Structure 1
Amino acid sequence: MIRLEFGVRTLGRTRLSVSPVAEAVEWLKLVADGRRHPVFGDPGPAARGVLRHPDVALVVDLLPPAGRDYTPDLLTPKPRTGSWKEILHTQIAEIEATGQDDVDAQVLSGLQKHWGRPLSPRVRRLAESGRLQPRLAAGLDRFWHEALHDGWPSLQSVLDDDIAGRSKIIAEHGVGRMLSEVHPRAGWSGDALTIDSRYDITLDLTDHDVVLTPTVLNRTELMFQLDDAAQVTVYYPACRAGVTGRRDPAELTEVVGTARAALLADLGVARSTAELAGRHSVAASTVSYHLGALHRAGLVARHRDGRRVLYRRTRRADVLIDPS
């Protein structure tokens, strides 16, 4: 379990932002692995061709091998405020200005620790000499402009839609509600963001701002960077609302089944398993089974209230019920 302890000042400085560089890193992972994106398809010859550039190849050397998930945080600086163009410019500049201590910790020591294999000789040579940072910045900048620039408007529209929807949740229900619904693996305890994870980490973020960043090119995973409290960023899959009209209940039943559709319809407010069992006249174990499936699908969020665990529809489920 990862526990990010906010405090009042941190909660007041929590914000949502796009990260052009993070999207570039996700796209680069897919291109380097020779895979197709399930939505956007084949990356295309331009994206594959730019892999031959030596600076882009250096970035690829820092991407996690199969079975590993650690990527050095220095590749994805926390987004600052501003337009996406300003954010991109600042992120590239911050990569170039990365301190040598961070390179030592995240590259020279971190990759060996997390990947269990030695660095490539060229990465080690550049990292030890202090020449790695500008090469990585140039590589990501080149890859973004040659492989992602033309498709950015379509990605940006989804990211903007997600941020607008979550901003509405904050306006109507508060930051805590938004945090509790950001991903099925995440929850809000009242003073901390908790994340289901194989890592056991507690991080005090007092006096630091936290950025939550929607991603389009990573469609399912909740990701986080925690190497440096000042750089903490949580990445979650963006959710885009549908186009028009409230979904017919019969259609929803076809999507999730009768029992789960009924539970979803009743979870506009937070309810416990026992309460739902009583309201729907079914066994608590049956309700728990269905809630587990809905939670894994990202359609309900859960949080602890004393000894009770409460469930509520997520925005993704709201869109399923009412796409307007």
Structure 2
Amino acid sequence: MLRIHFTTEDMAHTRLAAEPDVLWEVLLSLHALQKRPGTKEFGLWRDRARGRLLGGTADLSRMLCELAPPVGYSADFLTPTAGLSCLDEALDILLATPRTRLRADLGDLAPRRSPATWLGALASGDTTVLSTLGEAVRRYHRTALAPYWRPIRAQVEADRALRLHALATGGVARLLTHLHPQARWQPPVLELPYPVDQDLFLNGRGLVLLPSFFCFGIPITLKNPDTPPVLVYPVVRSPGWAAGDTARPGPGPRSLTALLGRTRATVMQLLVHAGTTGELACRADISAASASQHATVLRQAGLISTRRQGNTVRHSLTPLGAELLNSSRGPH
């Protein structure tokens, strides 16, 4: 049983992540890759991903599986973010993990696995091993997740709309109790089924609710109580989501593509969901410089607006841009 202890302040600070988190999807898809449960949901994806991971990527994939076994504890430091979909930004945070955290997490992992020789070097913060880990995540993501990122994002966004409706009509309590059929809200404690007995005291930090495509069965959280509190829960997956994978975002509607060009039309289509320049570059699979250039042209045309948030800028469609995008799609 997992018991999450809320205060009044925690209720006010509980929020729903805006996007799927790329590192959580890497971790949980590794679990799905290694075990058979969820054959109906993940069977086709698993077969294709395993075939693609054979060869030069296999050794790096085995490295990740050492850190993320299919059952039991997976190293907490692999998922330092909650709601960050840009792989480059997420990897920067992962590879900056302090040595003390690496040692602690790998110490929790070691009793469950026969330690590989490179784990000791990783625990000491060896930069070469950390670089190899980063490359392993990048290649795995490119091979197993990037071709499916559009349906992953779409179904997480659909789930988020349902959760926001629950929040609007019944408050945080209703949002929490709808995360799982066996969830029980006994103020101020949320109880959820869990493979181990664990208490999570929020202590005013609030809770990030993170919808996840590859989370299966029950919500999960981190083991370390000192990490920012996050509860990852499964979304409903549409049948056949893995049948038509493509590695890059598709072009925008034909008329819009003819007007703006393929890449700029794709950028505009992606800005249905506002994002930073870095996020836009990741979504469109282009460089940050190219994303910035396209955003500038679209902004000068009055199709998007840009506002600064701290050290980043965030782009979104203007009413004119939304009208143009909708009209280009035709009556359907």
State TM-score, norm by structure 1.
0.63
2:38 touches 2:216 (CA, 8 Å); kept in 1?
Answer: no
In 2, distance between residues paired with 1:212 and 1:175?
11
- What's the RMSD between the two structures over aligned residues? 2.7
SS of the equivalent of 2:191 reads strand
1:121-171 CA-to-partner distances (Å, cap 9, x unmatched) read 122233235334443233212211222112110111111000110011001
Change (3 A) 1:241 1:38: closer
SS of the equivalent of 1:226 reads coil
SS of the equivalent of 2:119 reads helix
In 2, distance between residues paired with 1:28 and 1:241?
20
Q: Which residue of 2 aligns with 1:301?
A: none
In 2, distance between residues paired with 1:199 and 1:227?
14
Q: Which residue of 2 aligns with 1:4?
A: 4
**Aligned-pair identity (%):** 23
Q: Which residue of 2 aligns with 1:90?
A: 89
Q: 2:213 aligns with which of 216, 235, 240?
A: 216
Unaligned regions of 5+ residues in structure 2, if any?
A: 240-332
Change (3 A) 1:134 1:10: farther
Q: Which residue of 2 aligns with 1:52?
A: 58
Q: Which letter does structure 2 place at the counterpart of 1:60? A: C
1:81-140 CA-to-partner distances (Å, cap 9, x unmatched) read 6xx33xx43322221011111111110x10134x1x431112223323533444323321
After TM superposition, give the deviation of residue 49 of structure 1 in Å.
4.2
Q: Which residue of 2 aligns with 1:245?
A: none
1:73 touches 1:106 (CA, 8 Å); kept in 2?
Answer: yes
Change (3 A) 1:229 1:6: farther
State TM-score, norm by structure 2.
0.62
Q: Which residue of 2 aligns with 1:38?
A: 40
In 2, distance between residues paired with 1:148 and 1:168?
29
1:210-232 CA-to-partner distances (Å, cap 9, x unmatched) read 22222222332322213143332
Q: Which letter does structure 2 place at the counterpart of 1:76? A: T
SS of the equivalent of 1:174 reads helix
Q: Which letter does structure 2 place at the counterpart of 1:97? A: A
Change (3 A) 1:121 1:57: same
1:10-159 alignment to 2 at 5 Å? Answer: 10-17=10-17, 18-32=20-34, 37-40=39-42, 41=44, 42-44=47-49, 45-49=51-55, 51-54=57-60, 56-64=61-69, 68-80=71-83, 84-85=85-86, 88-107=87-106, 109-113=107-111, 115=112, 117-131=113-127, 132-159=129-156
**Aligned residue pairs: how many?**
232
In 1, distance between residues paired with 2:126 and 2:182?
38
Unaligned regions of 5+ residues in structure 1, if any?
A: 243-324
